[in-house]
Amino acid sequence: MSERDDASTYRSPVGTHDVLPPQSERWMQIVATFAERAARFGYGLVVTPIFEHVEVFQRVGASSDVVRKEMYELTDRGGRSLALRPEGTAPVVRAYVQHRPTPPWKTWYVAPNFRYERPQKGRYRQHWQLGAEVLGVDDPDVDVEVVALAHGFYTDLGLRRVRLIVNSMGAPQDRARYVAVLRDYLLSHADGLGDEFRARAEQHPLRLLDAKKEKWQDVLERAPQITEHLGDEEREHFEHVQRGLDALGIPYELDPRLVRGFDYYTSTTFEFASDALDGAQNAVGGGGRYDQLAEEMGGPVTPGIGFGIGIERVLIACEAEDLLLDPGPGLDAFVIDGVGDGTVAVLVAALRESGLRADRTYGGRSVKAQWKVADRSGAAYAVMLGRAEAERDAVGVKNLRTDEAQLEVPREQVAGWIRARREAPGLTEEHQ
């Protein structure tokens, strides 16, 4: 290292982190749980680039912090303005507009997102999201389906302290009318609440609604509510969604002050909050409708709805709820080499090719040392390649999880022998 390198140079950048085994096992299980559930609902995987033309993300809204302050923007060597993906919806809508798949287009994704935030527990500069987006249907049954997909995912993981909060932002004209009423109300109550309150009421009155500052709460709590400003169609849509959730037995709370962070939202919006997490970072997922986004990107009028779920926050919630990490199946066999003639590599390869999880040590370690590693490995069986057994084309097999004595098994049969016991754990030697 040169003298100019400081201690932080070769560490992951602030606000990012590595996912290493064994924690990565839970990470994989979370993704697999979601993938399996999305497939059951008829959603297909979509993979979009990590960076896009910056305009794609500017569509998510000029008033959002993400666009105003948090985007990682870069100019490539060809002079193009690009941005690292800060959220997952805009790229999927861009892909829809570009490829025009037949609607309804039901998609899911797992992808990293980048936001220049002030890092703290549950808030990172790179975070991963599992998400789903459905384009081309405005039927409120789809809103219910999308919410049910996310809700069932938390249930699958065993999370019990996740609450669903639902709101409606109305049609764009409802929203515009409401914003005007809200701005007037907030400004007429701004005396004594400070310059920041006044500035935010003028510029982004909706965003002010879920501000946490104590001395503003009185005024915010009494603010006019969006749900009182919905047109007939939107009110009916929202009621249909609520009836649908009731019919599926999905509990929810209505919160007219739920304001999501992007300007693209129309109609149904929702968030999943974990009571096991710290207040400010308790959203383990959120989403809603964005019925105009495709059109804003030059596509045909295409309603859309979806959500994003933060994997890191789900991991924190699992830990906070004491959900035990499923250790996975572990190794089936650990091979111990007492011969040293190269057979070990062939035997381990054969076990692995037969579908078993098998491992070994390297570097010609003593048999005693190898047994120690085998014991610690958690493997179900040790397979002993000993000199005496080798003369009979056999191996020794020892169950590492019981105190049964070591047995001798013909070498070409050992994979089948272990597989049979893996599939029928009660099988003992007499059943051979």
Instruction: Using CB under 6 A, list all residues that contact ligand HAM.
Output: 87-89, 115, 117, 122-124, 127, 129, 131, 133, 261, 283-288, 306-310, 312-313
Amino acid at 225: Q
Contact 290, 89 (CB under 8 A): yes
Q: Which is nearer to ligand HAM, 178 or 264 (CB)?
A: 264
Q: Least distance to ligand HAM from the beta carbon of 307, Å?
A: 5
Q: Least distance to ligand HAM from the beta carbon of 399, Å?
A: 44
Three-state DSSP at 407 gives: strand
Q: Least distance to ligand HAM from the beta carbon of 141, Å?
A: 17
Q: Least distance to ligand HAM from the beta carbon of 264, Å?
A: 8
Q: In what order do the strands lie in the sheet with 253-254?
A: 44-45, 105-114, 126-135, 304-310, 283-289, 266-274, 162-168, 253-254
Q: Which is nearer to ligand HAM, 197 or 270 (CB)?
A: 270
Helix (H) or strand (E) holding 146: helix 140-157
Q: Which is nearer to ligand HAM, 89 or 242 (CB)?
A: 89
Q: Omega into 425 within 30° of 0, i.e. cis?
A: no
Q: Which is nearer to ligand HAM, 286 or 303 (CB)?
A: 286
Nearest to 111 by CA among 94, 95, 127: 127
Question: How many residues in total does the chain contain?
Answer: 432
**What stretches of 248-342 show up as alpha helix (H) in DSSP?**
293-296, 311-320
Question: What's the 3-state SS for 357-407?
Answer: CEECCCCCCCHHHHHHHHHHHCCCEEEEECHHHHHCCEEEEEECCCCCCCE
Q: Which is nearer to ligand HAM, 31 or 390 (CB)?
A: 31
Q: Least distance to ligand HAM from the beta carbon of 87, Å?
A: 4
Q: Which two tokens stand for residue 418?
A: 């272990």
**What stretches of 13-77 show up as alpha helix (H) in DSSP?**
23-40, 54-58, 65
Q: Which is nearer to ligand HAM, 152 or 378 (CB)?
A: 152
Q: Which is nearer to ligand HAM, 103 or 386 (CB)?
A: 103
Q: Which residue is nearest to ligand HAM (CB)?
A: 310
Amino acid at 273: A
Q: Least distance to ligand HAM from the beta carbon of 316, Å?
A: 9
Q: Least distance to ligand HAM from the beta carbon of 122, Å?
A: 6
Amino acid at 232: D
